[in-house]
Amino acid sequence: MSFFARGSRNQRTFRPKKTAPSGNKGMQLKRHIDATLGSGNLREAVRLPVGEDLNEWLAVNTVDFFNQINILYGTLMEFCTPATCPTMSAGPKYEYRWADGVKIKRPIEVSAPKYVEYLMDWIEAQLDDEKIFPQKLGAPFPNNFRDVVKTIFKRLFRVYAHIYHSHFQVIMKLQEEAHLNTCFKHFTLFTLEFRLIDRAELAPLSELIDPIILGC
């Protein structure tokens, strides 16, 4: 089963879907992801395939997780508005402010939909920059590539945290909770496998993450 099919009756895409990077190698790894996901074994699906380059694996999966959250958030756009979500939060204890270090250097408070818009624009810019995510087979990845990937994953996690804390009732009404939970488990297992997010950042969803770590 692929998580990225457009056919679900409740799914709308927030923005155009990105394709796998790095030419033919990227597409080969994407097919491997789809095949292992189809087996239903998420723990196996996140592992680096034998003989494959770690950066290539991180790159292809980063695109896939971007697409997953793009689709998931698309189902909620009419419910996640500046009026319903004036801040980007994950429950009463956690609030996220936006800064990209370039256009917005100091963190600013924005609504949840504006935060997600800024985030997706920023991630797309990283994915489209061939100096960061090379498209040609054999082209080198930058020395700071893992740091860029970690920042992307940290910020994508915040979208999951907001969805669970602010919109889970809507997800249930749309009958998408199984899909959301599977996507989040896949995301979490990949994050833990490659240590992409500090544990403190995962705190808003610790009650969901701890059973995943324990293999429940």
Q: What is the mean pLDDT of each run of 10 residues along the chain (216 residues)?
A: 29 51 54 54 88 92 94 93 97 95 91 96 94 87 96 97 96 92 94 96 95 77
pTM of the model: 0.84
Which ranges in the chain belong to alpha helices (H)?
A: 23-38, 42-46, 54-74, 112-128, 145-173, 177-193, 206-213
The pLDDT of residue 8: 32
Rg (CA), the chain: 17
CA–CA distance, 102 with 92 (Å, rounded to integer): 29
CA distance 216 to 210: 9
